[in-house]
Structure 1
Amino acid sequence: MEDLLDRFVTLWVVIDPIGTIPVFIAVTAGIDAATRRRTALQAALVSVGVLMFFLVLGQLLIDALDIGLNSFQVAGGIVLFLFALTMIFGESKAETDTKIVEADKSAQVRRKQNPAIFPLAVPSLASPGAMLAVVMLTDNNRYGPIDQGITALVMVAVIAVAYVLMLFAEPIIRVIGHAGSAIVSRVMGMILASVAANAVLSALINIIQTGEL
């Protein structure tokens, strides 16, 4: 149960459904309700597809490069820790992705970009941190097929929550405000930093005890 909770917390933090709400509002401003619902659904489905790709093929890449589990866990933990620092000290995901949208509009780029693909699915939901997290949480050397399947279900559940939150984006923002969303993002960053530090320390202890990278 504790391991399942760790997976849920890690995936919740790196996917950050709450931080996606302001981004969704920014990219769907001025369109009708039906189109907004389609955009939310497409963003959720695309992000699931992207993360499933890394969940299934990420391990093959690690094996092909002959990267040791402990080495990958240390590197992955460091990257997640740095990602957490950007959540704590930098701009929130909502602020960053909204600026991307505004910059794109100010430049008058008119290539019919689908907002469900960019920036909602990637990099808002299927962020680099989320891609790395699903690879770490489904490593064949640590997790069997059942555990990997559970991780996949947890990932889908988190994105499903994100989809529901996008459907109710405007009422939620009216309640918590953009400042509230930024606060939640920073708290999640602290949690992710703790998870990342634990992953690095566990790998280092394992290296000392076994001598295997």
Structure 2
Amino acid sequence: MLDFFISAAVTMLVVLDPIGLAPLFLAVTGGLSEAERRRVAWRSSGIALAILVVFGAIGAPLLAALGISLPAFRIAGGLLLFAISFEMVFGRRTERKPDTAEAALREQHLHNLAVFPLAIPLMAGPGAITAMMLLAGEARGEPALLAILFAITVAVIASCLAVYLAAERMDRLLGVTGNAILTRLLGVVLTALAVQFVIDGIKASFFT
């Protein structure tokens, strides 16, 4: 049980990388107010947690029943992430002032942003979903081990939320110029990450 706990904790921390999500959160939510960022942080964390728990419980049978492979999941996630990274590099995600749309459209935008790309695929992405299913398989249906896995997942997601909530301070330190530079640099990093998702999916589909 201790070995499983250590393995699960290290795996989930490495895969989700809470510290590494902070600058990505700042870049993706550029132009939002502090209150709106907090709402997006809570929603994205809750959505990501729900997705990971569901896939840990019934992920493998569900994908098998739908005829969806994990490599296909990686390719799809990579393509979606590439679209967001493209907008970040060219500064198209920074113009989000409330007076440019009605309140209903603004609220819908916040909901969408919490779902994609924050919850999916940055938090509950192909890597995290795969890790959850693999660790759940190692548990072999034992309630105690599954409870440990889900508790670790909750703790890691909570750490991601804490990082998100503290990201506003980092935003104030960076300033307008720093944020503009950071957004474009991270857009390039996200582009590379998206391409890597696609490459991994293609390799797993055709070369294994």
1:83-115 CA-partner distances (Å, limit 9, x unpaired): 343355x1118945434x34x6324x1349559
Q: Pick from 7, 11, 19: which aligns with 2:16?
A: 11
Structure 1 residues 116 and 93: CA distance shift in structure 2, 3 A: farther
Identity %: 15
Q: Which runs of 5+ in 1 are unaligned?
A: 29-35, 209-213
Residue aligned with 2:52, SS: helix
2:142 corresponds in structure 1 to: none
Structure 1 residues 49 and 189: CA distance shift in structure 2, 3 A: same
1:9-42 CA-partner distances (Å, limit 9, x unpaired): 65359x94323325545221xxxxxxx3x54443
Instruction: Answer yes or no: is the 8 Å Cα contact 1:17–1:159 preserved in 2.
Output: no
CA RMSD of aligned residues (A): 4.2
Q: Residue 193 in 1 paired to residue 195 in 2?
A: yes
Residue aligned with 1:26, SS: coil
2:143 corresponds in structure 1 to: none
Instruction: Answer yes or no: is the 8 Å Cα contact 1:84–1:189 preserved in 2.
Output: yes
Write the distance in 1 (CA, Å) between the matches of 2:125 and 2:167: 24
Q: Give the TM-score, by structure 2 length.
A: 0.64
Q: Which amino acid aligns with 2:70?
A: Q
Structure 1 residues 48 and 10: CA distance shift in structure 2, 3 A: same
Write the distance in 2 (CA, Å) between the matches of 1:2 and 1:202: 24
1:63 corresponds in structure 2 to: 61
Q: Give the TM-score, by structure 1 length.
A: 0.63
Question: Hey, which of these two has a bigger chunk of helix by percent?
Answer: 2
Write the distance in 1 (CA, Å) between the matches of 2:162 and 2:36: 14
C-alpha displacement of 1:138: 1.2
C-alpha displacement of 1:183: 0.8
Q: State how 1:1-150 maps to structure 2 within 5 Å.
A: 8=13, 10-12=15-17, 16-22=21-27, 24=29, 26-28=31-33, 36=34, 38-58=35-55, 60=58, 63-64=61-62, 66-67=64-65, 71-86=68-83, 90-92=86-88, 95-99=91-95, 101-102=96-97, 105-107=99-101, 109-111=102-104, 114=107, 117-118=110-111, 121-128=114-121, 130-133=123-126, 134-139=128-133, 142=137, 144=139, 145=146, 146-147=148-149, 149-150=151-152
Aligned residues: 192
